[in-house]
Amino acid sequence: MGKPSSFLDSLPSAQGTLHVVMLGLDSAGKTTALYRLKFDQYLNTVPTIGFNCEKVKGTLGRSKGQAFLVWDVGGQEKLRPLWKSYTRCTDGIVFVLDSVDLERMEEAKMELARTARSPDNAGVPVLVLANKQDLPGAKEPKELEKLLGLHELGNGHMWVVQPACAITGEGLFEGMDALYEMILKRRKLAKQVKKKNR
């Protein structure tokens, strides 16, 4: 395998494409969500090298037509040193959560906090995909906000909680649109700061 840059260069029309990384505990529904997004509007696939990566296009709101390269890299601790180099310059984070699994909510909270604290991810917008809303007992966004301690995330992160069902695809494109809005907002803020400092 070549260097990260040559791998990225080999991806079709990477220009203007936003890089999004999907994180979360195992079984949260990351792979299901990725392939639901892909099959709703299939574009192309990239060979899997220890993780899944698909290019998908937004279908709603201002994100309509916007390409996202979505990386599903979670749960593979041993491979992290490898995929870290691909996901360093990420535009957005999708944190997939099992909205029913209260037993592992604390673990999910810790994982999210760890991701948010990483200097590589400073200020990167976070979409919390509150998945498995089809199951009885699924917690609502407001409650998940508290359970995950989103208000204490820090490190300059914007965040949104989007209820979803990865199996039917409900809420997925709404989530991508919300993430896109945060990415635009962050760019606008960065521009304003640059102007002010001139």
116 binds, among ligand G3D, Mg ion, none (CB under 5 to 8 A by kind): none
Among 18, 20, 29, 31, binds Mg ion (CB under 5 A): 31
CB of 35 to Mg ion, least distance (A): 10
Per-residue contact flags (x/-) with ligand G3D for residues 118 to 157, judged by CB under 6 A: -------------xx-xx----------------------
76 is catalytic: yes
Give the binding-site size for Mg ion (rule: CB under 5 A).
2
Q: Which is nearer to Mg ion, 30 or 36 (CB)?
A: 30
Convert residues 92-111 into a mask of x (bound to ligand G3D by CB under 6 A) and - (unbound): ----x---------------
Nearer residue to Mg ion within complex by CB, 30 or 57: 30
Q: Are the C-beta atoms of 21 and 87 separated by less than 8 Å?
A: yes
> 126-131 and 159-163 as β-strands: parallel, antiparallel, unpaired?
parallel
Shortest spacing between CB 58 and ligand G3D, in angstroms: 20
Positions touching Mg ion (CB under 5 A) are 30-31
- Annotated active-site positions, please? 76
Applying CB under 6 A, which residues contact ligand G3D? Answer: 24, 26-32, 74-75, 96, 131-132, 134-135, 165-167
